[in-house]
């Protein structure tokens, strides 16, 4: 596994070693030992999968309090623009984000640590998106930041009139208005 560091130290892109021949390809999509050594020790406890069509934008979501989650995300069909936003008050990278294209072709994965909001926009006709989480989902701990927050100014690579949102995501507050943000001085992994 090749680790690509980003502008935000804790957010990393992971490229697997892909072995291809006339039959197709093979790669190891996850190794706990290698992940712990090269990224950080994390115990994933839940795998999720979603299917979406072009223009769908999911995010920017997170889990609050003791339900904060790290995510390891990847695409198995199609392509997305995947985004991780630092929402840790006091962080030197607060309000900054990493955006990376994840696709079935490039096999890249993105590690989104606790303390970050996460979202993606679908760039192809259909996407199958998978993510590993290191904490169980809790409906009462849902949090979100507006996808179109002008302070963040994320280019989702889809025209605004083509973006498809859930009703819930239409109502998310900006980072400046958010009811809940993480505290950078607290260890979110304890």
DSSP character for 174? P
In the numeric block, the tokens 């299917």 are attached to 51
Scored b (16 or more CB within 10 A) or e, 93-128 reads bbbebbbbbbbeebbbbbbbbbbbbbbbbbbeeebe
First vs last C-alpha separation in the chain: 27
Active site residues: 61, 131
Query: If we measure between CA atoms, which residue out of 171, 172, 163 comes closest to residue 52?
Result: 163
């Amino acid at each position: 596994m090749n680790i690509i560091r980003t502008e935000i130290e804790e957010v990393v892109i992971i490229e697997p070693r892909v072995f291809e021949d006339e039959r197709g390809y093979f790669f190891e999509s996850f190794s706990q030992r290698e992940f712990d050594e090269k990224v950080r020790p994390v115990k994933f406890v839940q795998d999720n999968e979603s299917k979406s069509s072009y223009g769908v934008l999911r995010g920017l979501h997170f889990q609050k309090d003791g339900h904060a989650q790290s995510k390891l995300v990847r695409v198995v069909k199609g392509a997305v623009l995947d985004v991780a936003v630092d929402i840790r008050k006091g962080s030197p990278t607060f309000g900054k984000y990493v955006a990376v294209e994840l696709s079935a072709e490039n096999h890249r994965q993105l590690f989104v640590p606790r303390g970050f909001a996460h979202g993606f926009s679908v760039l192809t006709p259909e996407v199958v998106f998978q993510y590993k989480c290191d904490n169980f989902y809790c409906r009462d701990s849902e949090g979100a930041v507006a996808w179109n927050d002008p302070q963040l100014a994320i280019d989702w690579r889809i025209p605004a009139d083509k973006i498809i949102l859930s009703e819930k995501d239409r109502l998310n507050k900006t980072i400046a208005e958010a009811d809940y943000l993480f505290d950078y001085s607290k260890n979110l992994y304890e």
